[in-house]
């Protein structure tokens, strides 16, 4: 089923090329009947493999001129007009291919961005899990290490050699376990961050674009109400801040999908004194306890992990900002992210 669907654009394009070629052959040379090849190129450009579009374009270009060698009949049209017609068709095929390829490249960049965010997100979740584990296991492990050390010290000559060896082993292994927990924590925390000025409007636009298809699929409309440009930047890791907005928008989409009635989300940015604010308002079911949603592992979703908002809050806090949530009196939830404006020091 999936395979047949993937084959479709290529098959259709080939059928269309053949059809246009046959029709083109049936008409006199003077008729500009090669232009419909552009539709075949457009179809071929939708194929998964990047080489299909250009290959079909080259084939169409060749067939456009092959016809001149097969059909001598040119009606009342002069030869130079016939050649001009063919060249125009070639130009149209070329331009369609170029625009299609540029579009494919832009789409690939968006997909790349999306997978970068997803990767960052997974790393953040792994980091958070490791921190929680390290925190929870640290104390019992420390106690085990201490007791094992003490037991090994207290083991006297009268204690059997086998028991002494076993106690030594317990002490060694518990120290090892504690070191493993510490090193996992260090490893996942070591995410290289690139910090610099971040345009909040641009971050909102990027995230809205990334989730556009997701929202559209379920009839959710995402409205952007952005502060007038130029907006002063905030300072920090662009990908991490995008990840926060991505979480907020994704949660908002999932929330409005659960209700009947208007499915509207508004993302708004504004400068307020020395701060920048980003609001995400939705028309979903709202929040019974706004503070709980930031707790680790709090989730109401069957597949949820309950870490997205906890991570988002720690990212915003690390950027010198604040992330809050309220239940809107008119229904739905509103998340507000406040970040400091970055002013470059002069001199
Ligand atoms: P997850 O999405 O994995 O559940 P999050 O930390 O992102 O984890 O969210 C925690 C919980 O907060 C969600 O399960 C949901 O119950 C609640 N929540 C988050 N955003 C919204 C929202 N916009 N409207 C209603 N509830 C929300």
Task: Residue 331: give its domain's CATH number.
Answer: 3.30.565.10
pTM of the model: 0.66
Q: Which atom of ligand 1 is the closest one to the Cα of 303?
A: 3
Identify which of 279, 299, 325, 332 to mutate to test ligand 1's pocket (most ligand atoms within 8 A of the CB). Answer: 299
Cα 327 from chain centroid?
27
| The last residue of a domain, from among 74, 89, 114 | 114
Nearest C-alpha to atom 13 of ligand 1 is from which residue? 299
Nearest Cα neighbor of 14 from 66, 62, 57, 69 is 57
Q: Please state, rounded to an integer, the average pLDDT across all residues of the chain.
A: 86
Q: Are residues 94 and 241 in the same domain?
A: no
Q: 61-78: per-residue pLDDT in tens?
A: 999 888 888 888 877 778
Question: In the structure, what pLDDT confidence band is assigned to residue 210 with cuts at 50, 70 and 90?
Answer: confident
Cβ-defined contacts of 300-309 (< 8 Å, 24+)? 301/254, 305/125, 307/124, 307/125, 307/128, 307/129, 308/121, 308/247, 308/250, 308/251, 309/247, 309/251
Ligand 1 proximity of 282 Cβ (cutoff 6 Å): yes
Task: Kindly state the tokens that stand for 301.
Answer: 């979703």
b/e sequence 182-193, b meaning 16+ C-beta within 10 Å: eebbeebeeeee
Q: Answer whether residue 154 is part of any domain.
A: no
Residues 334, 236: one domain?
yes
Q: Show the domain range for 52.
A: 2-114
| Residue 28: per-residue pLDDT | 84
> What end-to-end distance do the CA atoms of the chain give, in Å?
64
9-23, 85-99, 157-171: least confident range: 157-171
Instruction: Please name the residue whose Cα sits nearest to atom 14 of ligand 1.
Output: 299
| Residue 225 pLDDT level (bands cut at 50, 70, 90) | very high
Residue 309 lies in a domain: yes
169 within some domain? no
pLDDT at 146 over 90: no
List, in order, residues 6 or more apart from 208 with CB less than 8 Å away: 222, 224, 249, 267
| 145 is a domain residue | no
From residue 272, give the alpha-carbon distance in Å to each of 59, 104, 279, 339. Answer: 59, 39, 13, 10
Range with top average pLDDT, 148-152, 156-160, 332-336? 332-336
Burial 80-114 (b: 16+ CB within 10 A, else e): eebeebbeebbebbeebbeebeeeeeeeeeeeebb
CB 308 less than 6 A from any atom of ligand 1: yes
Neighbours of 270 (CB within 10 A): 15
Last residue of a domain, one of 114, 135, 167: 114
- Strands 221-225, 264-272: pairing kind: parallel
Residue 191 pLDDT exceeds 70: no
User: For 30-69, how does the pLDDT look when each residue is reduced to its tens digit (9 = 90+)?
Assistant: 787 888 899 999 989 888 888 888 999 999 999 988 888 8
Question: Is 140 a domain residue?
Answer: no
Q: How confident is the model at residue 264 (pLDDT cuts 50, 70, 90)?
A: very high
Ligand 1 pocket residue status of 270, Cβ below 6 Å: no
């Amino acid at each position: 089923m999936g395979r047949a669907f993937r084959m479709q654009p290529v098959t259709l394009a080939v059928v269309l090329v053949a059809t246009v070629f046959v029709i083109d052959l049936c008409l006199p040379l003077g008729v500009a009947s090669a232009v419909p090849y552009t539709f075949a190129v457009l179809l071929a450009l939708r194929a998964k493999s990047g080489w299909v579009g250009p290959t079909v374009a080259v084939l169409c270009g060749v067939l456009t001129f092959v016809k001149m060698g097969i059909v001598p009949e040119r009606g009342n049209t002069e030869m130079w007009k016939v050649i001009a017609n063919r060249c125009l068709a070639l130009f149209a095929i070329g331009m369609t291919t170029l625009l299609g390829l540029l579009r494919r490249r832009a789409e690939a960049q968006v997909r790349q961005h999306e997978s970068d965010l997803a990767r960052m997100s997974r790393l953040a979740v792994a980091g958070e899990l490791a921190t929680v584990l390290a925190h929870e296991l640290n104390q019992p492990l420390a106690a085990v290490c201490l007791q094992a050390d003490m037991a090994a010290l207290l083991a006297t000559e009268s204690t059997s050699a086998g028991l002494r060896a076993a106690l030594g082993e317990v002490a060694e292994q518990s120290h090892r376990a504690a070191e493993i927990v510490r090193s996992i924590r260090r490893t996942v925390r070591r995410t290289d961050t690139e910090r610099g000025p971040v345009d909040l409007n641009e971050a909102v636009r990027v995230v809205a674009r990334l989730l556009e298809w997701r929202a559209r699929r379920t009839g959710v409309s995402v409205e952007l109400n952005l502060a007038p440009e130029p907006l002063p930047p905030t300072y920090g890791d662009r990908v991490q801040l995008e990840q926060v907005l991505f979480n907020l928008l994704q949660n908002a989409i999932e929330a409005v999908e659960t209700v009947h009635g208007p499915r509207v989300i508004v993302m708004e940015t504004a400068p307020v004194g020395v701060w920048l604010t980003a609001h995400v308002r939705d028309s979903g079911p709202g929040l019974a306890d706004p503070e709980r949603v930031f707790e680790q592992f709090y989730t109401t979703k069957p597949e949820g992990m309950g870490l997205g908002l906890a991570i988002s809050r720690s990212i915003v806090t690390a950027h010198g900002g604040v992330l809050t949530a309220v239940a809107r009196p008119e229904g739905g939830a509103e998340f507000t992210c406040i970040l400091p404006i970055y002013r470059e020091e002069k001199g």
